[in-house]
Amino acid sequence: MKLICEVNEQDVQYITEANENGQKDYKIKGVFMQGEIKNRNGRVYPMQVLDEQVKKYTENYVNQNRAYGELGHPSGPTINLERVSHMITDLTKDGTNYIGEAKIMDTPYGKIVKNLMDEGAKLGVSSRGMGSLKQNGNSQVVQKDYHLATAADIVADPSAPDAFVEGIMEGKEWVWDNGVLREAQVNEYKEEINKTSKADLEGAKLKIFTDLLTKI
């Protein structure tokens, strides 16, 4: 499974509201994810895949007040609590888009986001997940094994080229290891296959397959 990050090119709306303590609550709202359209990275998310994952994500994370997002481009698929800046509070389907809303938290990275908003900085959102891709013409189609890690990390100006940089980790494979995701030792498996004689090839493949099954 590959790490897949998508920066949404549409601007997010800033919302500031006075709370009961007389302080300001900061929120962002906008298109967090899009389906059935080829994005800037050349990838397409079928609505069936997106709908299924958003449903699970909403039930297991949004509704449980644990749909966190980070500031910047994380290098892996898991949420780093020390980098959390906001909590996604709503995801609503609108045609082939999902409109999201997130509350900026009073964490160290959340405070940075609040300051950036106060200074008028332009911010965007980037979804993060894992899955396999299948080439279809000049597009890569996200497959049914896709798993949504977070609907929105907060990133720099989405119109800037560096906001679309695909992290180094996107080129690596990930597997489940006792319920935790870790980078797969794909090269080790390939080397083992290459060193195996033709007569022992089937046995080597079975060994690797069994090893992978123990990590799911």
For the stretch 74-87, pLDDT in tens is 878 899 999 999 99
In percent, the amount of the chain with pLDDT more than 70 equals 75
Q: List, in order, residues 6 or more apart from 43 with CB less than 8 Å away.
A: 4, 6, 133, 139, 140, 141, 142
Residue 163 has pLDDT above 60, yes or no: no
Comparing 206 with 125, which gets the higher pLDDT? 125
Catalytic choice (85, 86, 126, 127): 126
Residues 6+ apart with CB under 8 A from 61: 67, 88
The verdict on whether 73 is a catalytic residue reads yes
- Known catalytic residue: 147? no
Residue 102 confidence (pLDDT) = 96
Beta pairing partners, 47: none
Three-state DSSP at 167 gives: coil
pLDDT classification of 3: cutoffs 50, 70, 90: confident
Average pLDDT, the chain: 82
Of the candidates 59, 62, 128, which has an alpha carbon nearest to the alpha carbon of residue 89? 62
Q: How many helices (H) and strands (E) does the chain have?
A: 4, 13
What pLDDT, on a 0 to 100 scale, did the predictor assign at position 175? 62
Burial of 38 (0-12, 13-18, 19+ CB in 10 A): middle
Question: Residue 93's pLDDT is what?
Answer: 97
